[in-house]
Amino acid sequence: MLTDIERLTDAQFLRLFQAKRFLVTGATGNVGRHIVNRLLENGYLVRALTRDAKRANLPRYVEVVEGDLTRPETFERALAGVAGLHLITIGGDDYTPLENGDDIVQLARWEGVQRISVLSDGRTGSVEKAVMASDVDWTILQPVDLMSNTLGWIKSIKSANVVREPYGRMAKTLIHEADVAAVAAKILSDGGHSRKTLKLTGSEVLTIPDKIRAISAATGKPITYVEVSEEHTRQSMRELGIDEDVIDYVVAWNSNPPVEGRAVTKSVQQVIGRPPLSFTHWVREHAPLFM
């Protein structure tokens, strides 16, 4: 996607040097890429953390820095001079929660970081505990199911026009990853909502068949839903190398969602002043991927 920042002249870009700088971790992820773009479009400087700069594929004016959240010494320098920090809570591709939140937050404080947003999955892990115990302006963002999780259906829809999932009758909230990012970027740049945990949902409560109907409508493909057992889902996640604790958490969340998984909240509208994007909107953006 070509963002506005890609169209800036070098002279215009130089003016950005007056701007505040933010460090975005998880910058190559589904939510992080949107945060980077929002901050750039709002005229801020962005430093992006990744374990592999060669694969990062971020916009031209992003300062890409290599580092690993599980080894704070690798990204200490990336914290210098940043006004705000966006943190993820995972430390690997298997979604294992980070265990060194204290070290990360302490380093950020030493470097003078004053504001931290945390993209949390709802568990109070080491990162969440560390920011809550700190004196920074922290905001914990707890999105429910990200619409981008639907990308996990691409393979089975492309190959067989089928979706295999458990708990088909469970109606749940979901949120566009761009809305989560818009909330994070707004809070990082403008402040507010300090020392709060915001439960972020979209404005719809949908079942799996509802989502499949939306994808069918956008792609013109007749997609069948096959309800599978919980064990089938557990096994699929094991095959992806996902840790048993994480699997338990995902299964529990999907089989018996917490209140924010069943009912919409007004948090997105309250922070960014517009309603959340719909699933139909997300599907229109991503339809070619399912064809």
Ligand X SMILES: NC(=O)c1ccc[n+]([C@@H]2O[C@H](COP(=O)([O-])OP(=O)(O)OC[C@H]3O[C@@H](n4cnc5c(N)ncnc54)[C@H](OP(=O)(O)O)[C@@H]3O)[C@@H](O)[C@H]2O)c1
Q: Which residues bind ligand X (CB under 6 A)?
A: 25-32, 49-52, 56, 68-70, 88-92, 119-121, 143, 145-146, 149
Q: Taking the complex as a whole, how short is the minimal distance between the CB of residue 96 and ligand X, in angstroms? A: 9
Q: Taking the complex as a whole, how short is the minimal distance between the CB of residue 104 and ligand X, in angstroms? A: 10
Q: Taking the complex as a whole, how short is the minimal distance between the CB of residue 3 and ligand X, in angstroms? A: 17
| DSSP per-residue codes, 142-195 | EE-EEGGGGGGGHHHHHHHSEEEES-TT--EEEE-HHHHHHHHHHHHHH--STT
Contact 276, 176 (CB under 8 A): yes
For 181, the token pair is 């990012």
Among 119, 142, 118, 111, smallest CA distance to 132 is for 118
Q: Taking the complex as a whole, how short is the minimal distance between the CB of residue 18 and ligand X, in angstroms? A: 28
Between 174 and 215, CB nearer to ligand X: 174
Between 145 and 204, CB nearer to ligand X: 145
Q: Taking the complex as a whole, how short is the minimal distance between the CB of residue 51 and ligand X, in angstroms? A: 3
Q: Taking the complex as a whole, how short is the minimal distance between the CB of residue 156 and ligand X, in angstroms? A: 18
Contact 212, 227 (CB under 8 A): no
Contact 95, 44 (CB under 8 A): no
- Given CA atoms 208, 123, 130, 269 in this order, what sign does their dihedral have? positive
Between 19 and 272, CB nearer to ligand X: 272
Q: Which residue is nearest to ligand X (CB)?
A: 29
For 275, the token pair is 């309603």
Between 66 and 111, CB nearer to ligand X: 66
Between 15 and 155, CB nearer to ligand X: 155
Between 112 and 258, CB nearer to ligand X: 258
User: Residue 250 to residues 144, 242, 244, 256, 257: CA-CA distances in angstroms?
Assistant: 11, 11, 10, 10, 10
Between 98 and 214, CB nearer to ligand X: 98
* Helices then strands, each counted (H, E), the chain: 13, 12
In this structure, the strands spanning 172-175 and 45-50 are unpaired
Q: Taking the complex as a whole, how short is the minimal distance between the CB of residue 223 and ligand X, in angstroms? A: 21
- Given CA atoms 166, 259, 261, 26 in this order, what sign does their dihedral have? negative
